[in-house]
Structure 1
Amino acid sequence: MEAQNLQFCLYYKGEVECPYKPNSPGYDNDAGFAWMSEAICCKADDMDVERFLDFICAHMGKWAPYDYVDRFCRYLLANTRIPLEQRIAYAEKNFVGNHPIHKKLKGQ
């Protein structure tokens, strides 16, 4: 299962422990948060891109209910392992038309 979902991961590479440590210099909170979401997602059933992103968004929403939309949008912008066309399609389906993510993705 893990191998199939791993193709979509930007941060998680199959490690047992998160390499993004909060006490390390240059710690990236978004990377650490996304690593955990991807690690959990990779232990689920094999999924397509849309289901993978739904799972990541749901996990982020569970642990950061007040700022997960912004965090997820940053993740969607950063995750170049998922083709741009698929990220745009996901944003068009899941975010209102005037959400800034549309313009940012199309400007990449």
Structure 2
Amino acid sequence: MRDADDIAELFAPFRPVGIRRMFGGLGIYAEGKMFALAVDGEVYLKTDAAFAEALGHLGSRPFAYARKDGRVVTLSYWLLPDAAYDEPDMLADLSARALSIAGARP
């Protein structure tokens, strides 16, 4: 799993982020809002329907996990596209959109 230092470095082109442990992963925060999470070495961004569709066109997929009863739960977080790791402007733009969506949710 990415550690807090790796995540802070990844999001540096966007802005400083806070990181908190949660449910076997890491919540990633800016402006007091959780806009991303890291689980099993992968980073996911908060989405709404339109952003999820846009990320899907970039080869992304939703975060999903299996519950103990076997049901699969899909959350409104989608995988950070591979290209964003190498393109700081893309990372910053996608992160800003995720933060805006996180701010729109109670």
Same fold? TM cut 0.5: no
Higher strand residue share: 2
Higher helix residue share: 1
Normalised to the residue count of structure 2, the TM-score between the two structures is: 0.31
Normalised to the residue count of structure 1, the TM-score between the two structures is: 0.31
